């Protein structure tokens, strides 16, 4: 039995299969109306959400299942000091599958180790957001007809934008994909993406700061919000918040077939006037998220039925003698959790925290 913590846990053929299932759901929704009858999805959202939580809930309802859960930490026992692991054990008594969003990086991973049902990471801090990536993949496939041979521009907050990290991890595995990383220097992609994904797999990428200069070569433009809640210094956020605004003028520089994605919510990084452009795919992307979450729930529940054994972490080569210094890591708040590291690059002697991927 497994859940989904990082998009890298799904092989490319599994991603393609999920996309195929989602397209079949779109074509024949009636075939899926009862597929999850008597099954329950628990949505445990310790951080705000509109699209992710509601699309998970809509997905389960459209499969004939039911939903329970909470949408803020204040209305759960976390506010009394309950640990993520205990919450996951309790919810395993009441539900068949969990979708968890948490401000601390690695929290859904901790939940998955403790739960006896599949746990899906619905966004952990500034780390990962694998189910948003599923929505992104279906959108690119439906808009452009392929996932290979694409130049993908990612623009905005590449440091704290968890959707960016998971999307790079997924798209790096399709042939002929190149990335143009458009950000101010303060918000460049973090080391775990650069050194675990892009560099070792020799993925072509360049880092630039001008959206105008980058836009003409792009097949996909993935805009992101500057993640105000993740900044330690509010003035830094104020300084960087308006760095990029995609407007009608800039869209004139783009290819006729380019598609614009955004995980949403947008603040002001895409002018509302762009919404009428047929290349603006972000509202269709939000709908695609529901279909991909339906496909994922079906897959994980089906696998759990066939193999109910808990899917515990591989303990090989774990290192216990380092300390994580990332204040956003779950291991910083929950003192009972063991510090766990793994060597990710022997030659460069790089060791990363198992929960949050930061260097130790």
Binding ligand NCD by CB under 6 A: which of 78, 264, 274, 337?
A: 264
Residue 51 contacts ligand NCD per CB under 6 A: yes
CB 318 within 8 A of CB 342: yes
Among 69, 130, 153, 263, binds ligand NCD (CB under 6 A): 263
Q: How far is the CB of 165 from ligand NCD (least distance, A)?
A: 10
Dihedral angle over CA of 67, 131, 353, 175, nearest 10: 160
Catalytic residue among 51, 241, 284, 351: 51
Q: Is 247 helix (H, G, I), strand (E, B) or coil?
A: coil
Q: Is 190 in the site for ligand NCD (CB under 6 A)?
A: no
Strands of the sheet containing 220-223, edge to edge, are 205-208, 178-182, 151-155, 220-223, 259-261
Q: Considering the complex, what minimum distance in angstroms separates the CB of residue 202 from ligand NCD?
A: 28
Which one is catalytic: 129, 290, 299, 328? Answer: 129
Q: Which of 28, 38, 80, 202 is catalytic?
A: 80
Rounded least distance, CB 309 to ligand NCD, Å: 30
Least Å distance, CB 123 to ligand NCD, is: 5
How far is the first Cα of the chain from the last one, in angstroms, to the nearest whole number? 30
129 is catalytic: yes
Our finding on whether 132 is near ligand NCD (CB under 6 A) is yes
Residue choice 5, 6, 43, 52 for contact with ligand NCD (CB under 6 A) = 52
**Binding flag, residue 83, ligand NCD (CB under 6 A):** no
Residue 101: active-site member: yes
Tokens of 221: 């433009």
Alpha-carbon span 55 to 294, nearest angstrom: 9
Per-residue binding string, ligand NCD, 153-172, x by CB under 6 A, is ---------xx---------
- How far apart CA 47 and CA 159 sit, in angstroms, is 19
Q: Report the 10 Å Cβ neighbour count for 195.
A: 16
Q: Which residues contact 159 (CB under 8 A, 6 or more apart)?
A: 126, 183, 186, 187, 188, 189, 190
Q: Answer whether 106's CB lies under 8 Å from 353's CB.
A: yes
Using the minimum distance from each CB to ligand NCD, give the nearer residue, 156 or 360: 156
Q: How many C-beta atoms lie closer than 10 Å to residue 21's C-beta?
A: 18
User: Can 2 be counted among the known catalytic residues?
Assistant: no
Is 311 labeled as catalytic in the residue annotation?
A: no
For the chain, what is the radius of gyration of the CA atoms? 20
- Report CA torsion sign: 129, 130, 134, 137: positive
Query: Is 80 considered catalytic here?
Result: yes
* Number of chain positions touching ligand NCD (CB under 6 A): 10
Q: Does 130 bind ligand NCD (CB under 6 A)?
A: no
Give me the residues paired with residue 206 across strands.
180
Catalytic annotation, residues: 51-52, 80, 101, 129
| Positions that interact with ligand NCD (CB under 6 A) | 51-52, 123, 129, 132, 162-163, 225, 263-264
């Amino acid at each position: 039995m497994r859940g989904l913590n990082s998009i890298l846990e799904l092989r490319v053929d599994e991603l393609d299969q999920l996309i195929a299932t989602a397209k079949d759901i779109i074509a024949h929704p009636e075939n899926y109306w009862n597929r999850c009858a008597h099954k329950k999805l628990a949505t445990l959202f310790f951080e705000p959400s509109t699209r992710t939580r509601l699309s998970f809930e809509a997905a389960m309802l459209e499969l004939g299942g039911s939903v329970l859960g909470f949408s803020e930490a204040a209305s759960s026992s976390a506010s009394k000091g309950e640990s993520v692991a205990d919450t996951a054990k309790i919810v395993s008594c009441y539900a068949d599958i969990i979708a968890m969003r948490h401000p601390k990086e690695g929290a859904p991973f901790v939940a998955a180790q403790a739960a006896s049902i599949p746990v899906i990471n619905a966004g952990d801090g500034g780390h990962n957001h694998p189910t948003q990536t599923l929505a992104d993949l279906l959108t690119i496939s439906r808009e452009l007809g392929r996932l290979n041979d694409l130049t993908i521009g990612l623009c905005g907050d590449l440091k704290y934008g968890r959707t960016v990290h998971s999307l790079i991890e997924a798209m790096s595995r399709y042939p002929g994909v190149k990335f143009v990383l458009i950000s101010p220097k303060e918000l460049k992609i973090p080391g775990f993406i650069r050194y675990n994904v892009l560099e070792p797999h020799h993925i072509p990428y360049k880092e630039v700061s001008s959206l105008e200069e980058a836009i003409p070569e792009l097949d996909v433009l993935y805009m992101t919000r500057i993640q105000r809640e993740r900044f330690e210094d509010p003035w830094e956020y104020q300084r960087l918040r308006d760095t990029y605004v995609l407007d009608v003028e800039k869209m004139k520089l783009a290819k006729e077939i380019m598609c614009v994605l955004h995980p949403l919510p947008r603040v002001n990084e895409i002018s509302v006037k762009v919404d009428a452009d047929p290349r603006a795919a972000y509202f269709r992307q939000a709908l695609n998220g529901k279909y991909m979450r339906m496909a994922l729930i079906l897959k994980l529940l089906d696998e759990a039925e066939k193999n109910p054994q808990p899917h515990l972490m591989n303990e090989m080569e774990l290192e216990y003698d380092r300390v994580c210094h990332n204040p956003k890591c779950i291991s910083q708040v929950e003192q009972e959790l063991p510090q766990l590291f793994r060597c990710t690059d022997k030659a460069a002697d790089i060791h990363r925290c198992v929960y949050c991927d930061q260097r130790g």
